[in-house]
Amino acid sequence: MTACCLAAARLARADPPTLLAQVEIVGDNAALAAVTIAAFFVSVVLAAFVTYRFARGYLRTRRRPLLYLTVGLLLLAPLPMFLRIAFGNIESVTGTERRILVTASKFCGLLVILGVVYR
């Protein structure tokens, strides 16, 4: 088993108070760290909600440009956030590889949105 699988198995068996004890705060401002994490998760939820509303608009109207805007927004906002969370927890993915994936997703999203706007 890899180290990632072993760590996940160990966390699955851990008691809930043990999970909270595994969070380390570097520096001396724990409140700022908590606010930053909360703001990140709020932005993930808002980006997913806006993308969902675009998708519902496409399903209602069946217009291709709205579908492309939905895909572009997905690639631009929520997907990079999910990629940061997912690949930030995988030990075999380096920081450079993670940044390249996130930047490529944002770039593709911008290209799709620009393609719709200038079509």
Residue-by-residue pLDDT tens, the chain, 119 positions: 444 444 445 545 555 555 555 667 677 788 888 898 899 999 999 999 999 999 999 999 999 999 999 999 999 999 999 999 899 888 899 999 999 999 999 999 999 999 999 98
Q: How far is CA 52 from CA 29, 57, 70, 71, 74, in A?
A: 35, 9, 8, 11, 9
User: pTM to 2 decimals?
Assistant: 0.72
Per-residue tokens: 119: 């079509």
- The predicted structure's pLDDT at residue 67: 95
